[in-house]
Structure 1
C-alpha cells in the first residue's frame, strides 16, 4: 500500500479548517449546536451544520435527538474519534514548534505575517 493513500484518506475526512476545532470542542463532552458554535470562533451556522453532517457520516461524531419539548439535539464524539488523540497532539506539538521557527526568522515574509498575527492575538 502506498504511503500517500492512507494520508489522502485521512485528509479527506479531516479536510478544511473547521473539523479538528469541532472535534476538539467536543472532547470535553456532548454539546448542543449553539455551544459548539460559541466555542469554534468564526464558524457560521451553515458551515457548522455541514461539518457536523460530515463528521457524523464518517463516524467521528454521534448526533442524538431527544424526544422532548422542545426537541434537544446534542453532538458527542464516538469511540472511533478517540483514535485521533495522537494525531491532534502531534499537530499541536508541530504547530507550537512551527510558530517558534517562524517567529525566530523575522526576515521572511511569512515570519513578518506571523509576527503581525501573533501581535493581533495578544491585543
Structure 2
C-alpha cells in the first residue's frame, strides 16, 4: 500500500468528496435514497457517464450504498451509508453557505436561478 501524505486534513476530505459533482450528488442523497434517473433529473448538466463514475467512486469510498432490487427491470437506489451520513453536518453547512451566498449576490443585483432550492432542505 502506498503511503499518503496530507498537509492538512481538508485534503483528505476533498480527495473523497471534492470536485464539481460529488457534493451535489451527496446533497441530493441526504434526505432520501434516489435512483440514477432521479439524480439525472435533479442535476441536468451531469452526463450519465459522469454520474455513473461519480457514484461508483463514492460507493468504493464507502460514502454511499447501492441497493439493487430484484425486479424486472432491475431497480437500483443510492443512499448515504452510515459513514456517508457523518458528512451531513458538512453538507448542511455547504448548503447553508451557498444559499446565503446566492441571497447576497441576488441582493447585489446578480440574476441567479436556483432550480431545487426548496427540494434540498438543510438537515437540522
Q: Quickly say closer, same or farther: Cα 1:35–1:102, change in 2 above 3 A.
A: closer
* Structure 1 ranges of 4+ moved more than 2 A: 2-5, 92-104
Report the alpha carbon displacement of residue 90 of structure 1 after superposing the two structures with TM. 2.0
2:122 aligned partner: none
Report the alpha carbon displacement of residue 93 of structure 1 after superposing the two structures with TM. 3.3
Q: Which has the higher contact order (CA 8 A, sep 6+)?
A: 2
The total of aligned residue pairs comes to 110
> Higher helix fraction: Structure 1 or Structure 2?
1
Point out the structure with max Rg over C-alpha: 1
Describe how 1:30-109 pairs up with structure 2 within 5 A: 30-99=33-102
Normalising by the residue count of structure 1, what TM-score does the alignment of the two structures yield? 0.74
Normalising by the residue count of structure 2, what TM-score does the alignment of the two structures yield? 0.73
Contact 1:25 1:40 (C-alpha < 8 Å) held by counterparts: no
Greater CA drift, 66-75 or 77-86: 66-75
Contact 2:16 2:61 (C-alpha < 8 Å) held by counterparts: yes
Unaligned runs of 5+ in 1: 107-113
1:21 aligned partner: 24
RMSD: 2.6
